[in-house]
Each structure stands twice: as structure tokens, then as C-alpha cells.
């Protein structure tokens, strides 16, 4: 059965795509959930409009991500944590702490899932990557310091 997707469905397609799916999947899941409508003749214009809207939104999202990337490029983020005399942290510094530090120091709202990097257990300088968009990723240097 051919359906027009009204929103992105993982493993099936994206908004505005006309796809062939099993009749039961369409009738029992996609249509009742509002994720798709049956592709009848004349629905092609609606599909085109959805695809144009999706393309405009994608361009705007990428532009916004590039602006944010320019804002944090080259920034050194400082995080303090309790550490031993040898420089080993008693806890660890991970994505959540880096995201919180970016909000506090740069003013950029970043979700912890956008911050990629290994968990840090030592004092010093470490590299993390902030993925602002599927096509825009920015390396960020994180300076972990021992609390005084």
C-alpha cells in the first residue's frame, strides 16, 4: 500500500515521501498515529509541498548550527572538580558537565547528547566534540582543573 508520510518514520522514510508499506502496517500503525495518509491520486502536490518545507527547515537548522559553531570555535571551557594531589579526579567529567559549562561560560544552550567525548578522570586539557547538527561538529577544548 502506498502512503504519504506526514512525519519522519525511522526505517520507512522522511516527511513528504511516498513509500510502499505493508497494508497492515499502514492501517494499524501509520494512519491511526497520524504519521501517514493513504496516497490517493492528487496527493503528489501535497508531498512536494511537504518536501519543500522540510528542505527549508533543514537549511535554517544548518544555518543556525553554523552560527552557534562560530560562537564556540576556539573556546576553552574550564571545568573544576575535586581531585587528588596526583591529579586524579574523585569523580569524572563527562558530556553533562561539559554541556553545563558551555551554557554557563559561553551562553550556548547545548544538550548533553550533543557533546561527544570520553569520560575524563584526570586534571588537564581534553578534547570533546559538540555536534550541533548532522553536518556541523565543532571541537572544544575542556580544561579540567582541581578545586581549591
Q: Which domain holds residue 99?
A: 73-146
3-state SS, residue 7: coil
DSSP class of residue 110 equals -
Instruction: Collect all residues with Cβ–Cβ distance below 8 Å to 120 and sequence separation of at least 6.
Output: 89, 92, 93, 94, 126, 142, 144
User: What is the SS3 assignment for 104?
Assistant: helix
What cell does 102 get? 558551555
Q: Which three cell numbers stand for residue 20?
A: 510502499
Is the domain of 82 the same as that of 45? no
Q: In this structure, what are the phi and psi dihedrals at residue 25, rounded to the nearest 5 degrees?
A: -65, -40
Where residue 113 sits, what CATH number does that domain have? 3.10.430.100
Together in a domain, 37 and 80:
no
Between CA 46 and CA 32 the distance in angstroms is: 19
Predicted local distance difference test score (pLDDT) of residue 24: 96
Residues of the chain with pLDDT under 50: none
- pTM of the predicted model, to two decimals? 0.70
pLDDT value for 43:
85
The answer on 42 and 81 residing in a single domain is no
Number of structural domains found in the chain: 2
Statement to judge: residues 115 and 90 lie in one domain: yes
Contacts of 66 (CB under 8 A, 6+ apart): 133, 136
pLDDT at position 111 is: 92
Cell representation of residue 46:
501535497
Q: To which H or E segment does residue 59 belong? A: helix 44-72
Residues 6+ apart with CB under 8 A from 148: none
Amino acid at each position: 500500500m502506498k502512503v504519504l508520510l506526514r512525519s519522519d518514520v525511522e526505517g520507512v522514510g522522511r516527511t513528504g515521501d511516498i513509500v510502499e508499506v505493508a497494508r497492515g502496517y499502514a492501517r494499524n500503525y501509520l494512519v491511526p498515529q497520524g504519521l501517514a495518509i493513504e496516497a490517493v491520486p492528487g496527493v503528489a502536490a501535497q508531498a512536494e509541498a511537504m518536501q519543500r518545507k522540510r528542505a527549508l527547515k533543514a537549511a535554517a537548522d544548518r544555518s543556525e548550527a553554523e552560527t552557534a559553531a562560530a560562537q564556540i570555535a576556539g573556546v576553552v571551557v574550564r571545568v573544576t572538580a575535586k581531585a587528588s594531589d596526583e591529579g586524579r579526579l574523585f569523580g569524572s567529567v563527562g558530556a553533562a558537565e561539559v554541556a553545563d559549562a558551555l551554557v554557563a561560560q559561553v551562553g550556548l544552550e547545548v544538550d548533553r547528547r550533543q557533546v561527544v567525548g570520553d569520560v575524563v578522570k584526570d586534571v588537564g586539557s581534553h578534547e570533546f566534540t559538540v555536534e550541533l547538527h548532522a553536518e556541523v561538529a565543532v571541537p572544544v577544548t575542556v580544561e579540567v582543573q582541581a578545586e581549591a
